[in-house]
Amino acid sequence: MHCKVKLLDDSLFECELEKHAKGQDLFAKVCDHLNLLEKDYYGLAIWETPTIKTWLDFTKEIRRQVQGEYNYDFTFNVKFYPPDPAQLSEDITRYYLCLQLRKDIKNGCLPCSFVTLALLGSYALQSELGEYDPEVHGTDYAKELQLIPGQTKELEEKVMELHRTYRSMSPAQADMMFLENAKKLAMYGVDLHQAKDLDGVDIMLGVCSSGLMVYKDKLRINRFPWPKVLKVSYKRSSFFIKIRPSDLEHYESAIGFKLPNYKAAKKLWKVCVEHHTFFRLTSTEAATTPRKFLALGSKFRYSGRTQAQTRQASSVIDRPAPHFQRSASKRASRSLDGAMVSTPDKNARPVSAPIISPISPGDMAPSPVASAAHTDRKEMSTPTGRPRSTERKSEVKADGSKTHSTKAEGTPEIKDVDKTQTQIMRHHTSISELKRSFMESVPEPRPSEWDKRLSTHSPFRTASFNGQLQPDVSTGQPHLKRLTFLYVDKERCKQKRKWPLDAMAMAQSE
């Protein structure tokens, strides 16, 4: 049996399996090919139409789940979107999650605003191409990154503008920043299914890590968290949800929805069972209940590991960080431990957190946002193939002059060991928030013409102009006037009802 699997980087994986092979056999071969250990978040999908997919059941034979005798084409996709991608242990797991989210944005499954799209695109460029180099990248290098169909020139320019401001950000850190911004989107990790309510109105039912959502005209109109859901069931083409009663209610309530057919109702029920078991339970044994003799209904149960078990297994992973090639730059990546790797096209460079060396703020490239807020930002050193004895370093002083210092051979390199990886990630997070606020900020209103006249022709500015006294024409010396101020007692004037009209004090010039 010849099987083909399309991976997230659009490459094709082919393998031969025996006739009675199960889905788990094919999935294990794909994960071994990708060198992926945190595989419980992923799955293999069978596409009935370009928009309708069915997840391959790992406990059943493959040939019993596909339509046609020789149609063994699958896709490798993210099945369970982690609510907090930072808890993933390996960079390769986060990288494939980024590729899946970029596909979701391109297909319209993950809508986002122009500002968010530009920010995510800049992180994708940083992950694939590295830091901006005008000699290598040119001017229109953002065209190669297809974020959405028919992307505009304005979007590409904004993406490149943000990408040029990034300094000392490794591909692994760029993936982390991409996920930290993508997880805040409203449709992150939502699996949509077409349905109708009891009145026959077209709606969409979305299943995610937090519960079941109801959408109408792309707006969420209802939400059923998993703690509030007692039971999900289906009968023919109808899907039912039993809701836990609140403190003021005494009876359970059931809500029904109409799906296109029986197969769609059963598929939605399976997706709900899998998501509830994976995200809410600590083990799959808790979901397994002893069945009665001659019991009716489906025997389907989620057979994989839960999120709690996956995190526990990820915490004990003890292996060197895996090497993998990124789709655009084709560079080998390591984890956030700062290890060095080789690059086919360029010299050896760290693609994760390298050694941090303190430098002056003048060594950094100017940034419209980051330079204003973080003048003490530190740049990570990039080792090159040049000898240390002839390496020269240019420093910029406060007055703008440059001084050159020659590093002697054998001099130990200064390392900042106090800077942890968490502080580095917080630093890049604050920069992304500043850039977002900078792009969304509204400029302050300019003073009106009336305010300018009041500030220019004020009575107290007649003796001076812009803070300088006017010189006398005859003597050439500044002409001084003695001013005598007459203060009026406010309380006494109130008693005598002789309050001045418009001023609290009167000034007379002698």
- Residue 355: which of 342, 339, 370 has the closest Cα? 339
Handedness of CA 354, 358, 363, 364 (dihedral sign): positive
Distance of CA 82 to the CA centre of its chain: 13
Domains of the chain by start residue, with CATH: 2-80 (3.10.20.90), 96-189+327-374+417-433 (1.20.80.10), 191-288+299-314 (2.30.29.30)
Close Cβ partners of 26 (under 8 Å, ≥ 6 residues apart): 3, 5, 15, 17, 44, 56, 62, 74
232 is written with which tokens? 């999900």
Place of tokens 């992180």: 123
What is the pLDDT, as a whole number, of residue 171?
A: 92
Torsion of CA 399, 405, 411, 415, to 10 degrees: 30
Dist. CA 237–CA 209, nearest whole Å: 24
Dist. CA 465–CA 95, nearest whole Å: 63
What is the pLDDT, as a whole number, of residue 495?
A: 54
242 is written with which tokens? 């039993």
What is the pLDDT, as a whole number, of residue 211?
A: 95
What is the pLDDT, as a whole number, of residue 1?
A: 84
Amino acid code (one letter) for 113: S
Dist. CA 131–CA 16, nearest whole Å: 41
Q: In what order do the strands lie in the sheet with 42-47?
A: 12-16, 2-6, 73-78, 42-47, 53-55
- For 275-291, the DSSP string reads HHHHHH-S-GGGG--PP
What is the pLDDT, as a whole number, of residue 6?
A: 95
Tell me the residue length of the chain: 510
Dist. CA 195–CA 258, nearest whole Å: 6
Dist. CA 66–CA 57, nearest whole Å: 11
pLDDT in tens, the chain (510 residues): 889 999 999 999 999 999 899 999 999 999 999 999 999 999 999 998 888 899 999 999 998 888 776 678 899 999 999 999 999 999 999 999 999 999 999 999 999 999 999 999 999 999 998 888 888 888 888 888 888 888 899 999 999 999 999 988 999 999 999 999 999 999 999 999 999 998 999 999 999 999 999 999 989 999 999 999 999 999 999 999 999 888 777 778 899 999 999 999 999 999 999 999 999 988 766 555 554 444 445 666 777 899 999 998 888 888 887 777 776 544 434 344 434 343 334 333 333 333 333 344 344 444 433 443 344 444 443 444 444 444 444 443 434 444 444 444 444 444 444 556 666 667 667 777 777 776 666 556 666 666 666 665 555 444 444 445 555 555 555 555 555 545 555 555 555 554 444 444 444 444
For 91, list phi and psi in degrees, rounded to 5: -65, -35
Q: 158: exposed, middle or buried (C-beta count within 10 Å: 0-12, 13-18, 19+)?
A: buried
